[in-house]
Amino acid sequence: RAPVASRWRLGTAVPRGPAMDLFGDLRRMNKRQLYYQVLNFAMIVSSALMIWKGLIVITGSESPIVVVLSGSMEPAFHRGDLLFLTNFHDDPIRAGEIVVFKVEGRDIPIVHRVTKIHEKENGNIKFLTKGDNNEVDDRGLYKEGQNWLEKKDVVGRARGFLPYVGMVTIIMNDYPKFKYALLAVMGAYVLLKRES
């Protein structure tokens, strides 16, 4: 008979959680399998980056997809809506158009509607924005002393949207632990997934 301690280690009495299974799977892989899975993961990440860069080139926007983070544009857009943007410089900005713009001193772009256009004699256009759900225009959001936006401030113009698809992004921003847990699970799945 095996000693009690050995039976305890070898038997089914030791609880095994998902983390123990993960490390067990990694230990059972030979080096070649592990390298293959790491390369597979790297290919997925690089493919996603190439698609993103391709979208930037096609749309002319530095950020071709954005998520609406507030309710300032309701009822046109709601918090969590995913917007598709373009930013072709030949296309003039018009009143009524929804633009995404960056303001100096703020990290997060703002999605609001163009309410007024001010065109100078030399052809330069300045414009004013406002959220549909806001009572006042955005002059309070612009940098100090700035009363109008210019084309250089525009990240893109809304061309389409998917409702509430961006809620995942909002949840990940609001709960960073959830984001890291999700990334860890996805990375583990890719690393441990074996080709059949």
Max distance between CA atoms of the chain, in angstroms, equals: 98
Output the tens digit of pLDDT for each of the chain's 196 residues.
545 444 444 444 445 555 555 556 656 667 777 788 788 888 988 999 999 999 999 999 999 999 999 999 999 999 999 999 999 888 888 999 999 999 888 888 999 999 999 888 777 889 999 999 999 999 999 988 889 999 899 999 999 999 999 888 888 888 888 888 888 888 777 767 655 4
pTM for the predicted model, two decimal places: 0.70
Contact at 8 Å (CB) between 77 and 165?
A: no
| Strand (E) or helix (H) holding 126 | strand 125-130
CATH number of 65-163: 2.10.109.10
pLDDT of residue 196: 45
pLDDT of residue 122: 79
Computed on alpha carbons and rounded to an integer, the radius of gyration of the chain in Å comes to 25
Q: Which residues are catalytic?
A: 72, 112, 138
Distance separating alpha carbons of residues 25 and 19, to the nearest angstrom: 10
Q: Taking the domains of the chain in order of start, what are their residue ranges?
A: 18-59, 65-163, 165-195
